[in-house]
Structure 1
Amino acid sequence: MSHLSPQIPQKDAGLGPVLVDLLPDAGNPLLRVAGMSEELSDVLGRRVDVVTTTLLRDAVSSTALSDAVAV
């Protein structure tokens, strides 16, 4: 499942971060989110940050999850 952060992007900052749940043991999560970010940015024509909660610090993770909207 993916989640969108409801943050309002600043001018030319791109979309708010997209939080994704990755399947475990399916490769390096950092490389996977980097690839997703690049592909989404190409498709949408603007920068898209993709993150997973496992790569976020605890303080950021709890805030991001409480603000996230499931899509």
Structure 2
Amino acid sequence: MTTSAVRSRDEKLTLTEVCEELKVSRSTFYDWRAKRRAPRCIKLPNGDLRIRRSDLDHWLDDREDAV
């Protein structure tokens, strides 16, 4: 794996970036989080959330419909 590939998998996304990618509102994301249905998050000391690219990708893979 190249350095850039490792870096992109370890990239920390902002909540805004994740919501834009998923096309959901912030309130929907927080609702999922409250119900423990959101991807794993990192809570920073200032309260902001970050989501690792690899955690988001894994979370999406787990929700893929295998029809």
Q: What is the TM-score with the length of structure 1 in the denominator?
A: 0.29
Higher relative contact order by CA 8 Å / sep ≥ 6: 1 or 2?
1
Considering fraction of residues, name the structure with more helix.
Answer: 2
Could you say which structure has the larger radius of gyration?
2
Q: What is the TM-score with the length of structure 2 in the denominator?
A: 0.30
